Amino acid sequence: MMLATALYAALWLCSQAEARFITEVDPKTVYDYIVVGSGAGGSTVGAGLAEAGHSVLIIDAGIDLTATDEYRAPGYSLKASEFPPMTWEFFVNHYPNLAMQRRDSKMTYLTPSGNRYVGLHPPPFSKPLGVLYPRAGTFGGCTAHNALVTVYPEESDWDNIAKLTGDNSWNADYMRDIFKKIERCRYVPNSIIGHGFHGWLTTSVASVVFFLEDPKLLAMLHGAASALGQGFSKLFENVEGLVQVLHRDLNSGYPNRDRRQGLFQIPIATKQGSRDGPADRVKLLMQGTPGGLFSSAKTYRLDVLLSSLVTRIILQPPNKPGYAARAVGVEYATGPNLYRADPLSNPNARLPPLRWLQAGREVVLSAGAFNTPQLLKLSGLGPRQELGRMGIPVIVDLPGVGVNLQDRYEVSVTSASPQPFFLTKLCTFGRTKPDPCLNQWLYGSNDAEKGAYTSSGLAFAVLKKSTVAEDDIPDLFIAGALANFTGYFLNYDNVATIGARHWTWIILKARTRNRAGTVMLRSRDPRDTPLINFNYFRSGTNYDGQAEKDALALVEAIDWARAATSNVNNFLHFDQFHEESPGPNVKTTAQEAQWAMDEAWGHHASCTAAIGADKDPYAVLDSRFRVRGVDGLRVVDASVFPLIPGYYVALSIIMAAQKAAEVMDEDSKTTPPAPPMPPPMPPPAFSYGNGYSYGGGYRGYGPFGPNHFNHGRGGY
């Protein structure tokens, strides 16, 4: 052990002590931690570990687009999510029954001519692909294209994990302290409890000026208040009342915060009108700027390797009976657009030569709720039966990998009026050059002058408790948006932003009861997307009427949204809004429920490698993010939650990742580094199919049998 530690230290010292983007890695370099994925989880945990003094490599299949307008301008968030260099297109199923799936107007098909069709009437012999579920294949992950919503989860989300695991460091008070370390709040005075004011993630809200300048936007706010009841509508009798409503703090730390209903402005992750997120924190470390959480050092050992697809985890067999296998590194291929969710990917291209990297301490999977279970399974960690069907030897039988997939149910009530909103009437969302609103955003001196693009278009939110909520916590988050947004389908960003005449009530059913979604391997090829089925409503968790309760909550929200729009029309006598979706033919409660079950979508996939109790066979992780049955391997992303938290998941992931960095730093003080990997040895080549084969390796576990690892030095 002393020799291994000395060798490891020598390799550590000979590597460069600075943070940087790199294009290749010297195979002799050993990082303390290799983090797979650069999103909300990966960039946060990687930066936190680097600030604590550890050497870290973040590896991601995408490229850095943080300097583009698509990344920086909040108003381009929809455009960013369909920006070809940035997006990954997953196509998912909501139901196992194709007849039910075909009722969704967002269903996508591959036609016999090779085109993609979206809708209810595909050409004959078209192949069903599923419903678009956009992810971000870029540095920053989905924090590079999301709507920047930064909403604190409920206390019960954290207390539940503490109770489940017996680990009190997950309790709500401790996690609020984590949040305060992270946040740099810019929308409430620093006397407000529960907020942080010196962290790295800047939080803001849209300028109140926008409501004062746009009569229709103000009317929408008034209509929502009227639908909520007399108490809220009275507040609109003067400007002071308006400001009072818009200054209600959605993320406060006051008692009873989780039970409040009504109108709120939506906190977003923006800094001086531009997107802010975990990728920006990593880049600050590269510039020698500390994040302020651990140290004030001016250099950090943090490298970021992009355009590199991790294909599996290197697992070293136990050296004694009864001991666990150990994750000692990753196998990866370098090249652009390798993953087949990438719209720029060439499906017939050969995989570049495979390489491997050693982690001196641990490997951290932060690849997201779809790709983390895929990588675990490709590495022999997952349900025995599924791995057996794929011909992958089982290293650890983990039946909880890729099950328990959870999401929100979301639907939209959309309306159009004859005249455009003043705030966005000149905005072209990148369809023309110049884009007047982009120029305003680029050259304005503050958020009010920068205009509409300082926001993602979500004007405000309503928290509401349905009659079927499980407790006193609101289960409906209804956001008002200056858009024509009905969910995700090809070209949805253009449909949503043309004309500036539409208003959408985006209804999000939080605390959904469905736990039945799955992520399963499509093949052994790591470039293939997995098979994803959310098993909505009656096809999922429904042993006690859960599906009907979730559908009824959506119906109540639809009715509320319709009432709010009707109130708006009472204020705008000459510019009436006319409903387009669900539309006038959807009238009764039964019709609304069926429409919701047909058209619902989600975009917060979570819980596919969950933390749980020691006695739970489906608990993939312990409370310290460690994969059970394997040493040196952790998961830090949306997969870790046993139940999907809060209303929007990004902040919950960031908080969990910051906690993970602290936990791992603490554990490093009592755990020795891993011994160096054995030298490469050439085993036989094994074919993946589609022109993909393995060759070369080291003594360890691979998915084709024990005692060899194929890292691709030959066999192509």
Dihedral angle, C-alpha 135, 138, 143, 146, nearest 10 °: -50
Query: How far apart (Å, rounded) are the C-alpha atoms in residues 29 and 13?
Result: 10
Q: Which residues pair with 102 in a beta bridge?
A: none
Contact (Cβ atoms closer than 8 angstroms) between residue 61 and residue 304? no
Q: Which residue has the tokens 């085993």?
A: 683
Q: Is 679 exposed, middle or buried (0-12, 13-18, 19+ CB in 10 A)?
A: exposed
- Token pair, residue 590, equals 């039964």
State the number of CA atoms in the 13 A half-sphere of 414 facing the CB.
18
- Of the candidates 305, 368, 377, 373, the residue with the CA atom closest to the CA atom of residue 143: 368
Query: How far apart (Å, rounded) are the C-alpha atoms in residues 638 and 41?
Result: 8
For 243, the 3-state DSSP assignment is helix
484 is in an annotated binding site: no
Query: How far apart (Å, rounded) are the C-alpha atoms in residues 710 and 325?
Result: 17
**Structural element, H or E, at residue 396:** strand 396-397
148 is in an annotated binding site: yes
- Find the largest Cα–Cα distance for the chain: 82
Query: How far apart (Å, rounded) are the C-alpha atoms in residues 58 and 80?
Result: 22
Query: How many Cβ atoms from other residues are within 10 Å of residue 99's Cβ?
Result: 7
- Token pair, residue 58, equals 């973040």
DSSP 439-479: HHHHH-SSHHHHGGGGS-SEEEEEEE--TT-SSSS--EEEE
What HEC string does 36-104 produce?
ECCCCCHHHHHHHHHHCCCCEEEECCCECCCCCHHHHCHHHHHHHHCCCCCEEEEEEECCCCHHHHCCC
- Token pair, residue 53, equals 């003094």
Contact (Cβ atoms closer than 8 angstroms) between residue 95 and residue 312? no
Contact (Cβ atoms closer than 8 angstroms) between residue 636 and residue 660? yes
Which DSSP letter does residue 240 get? H
- Token pair, residue 661, equals 């960095």
146 is in an annotated binding site: yes
- Token pair, residue 687, equals 């074919």
- Alpha helix segments (H runs only) across 349-500: 368-378, 384-389, 436-443, 447-450, 492-497
Torsions phi, psi for 447 (to 5 deg): -60, -40
Query: How far apart (Å, rounded) are the C-alpha atoms in residues 158 and 41?
Result: 17
Binding residue positions? 146-149, 310
Binding residue positions for FAD? 146-149, 310
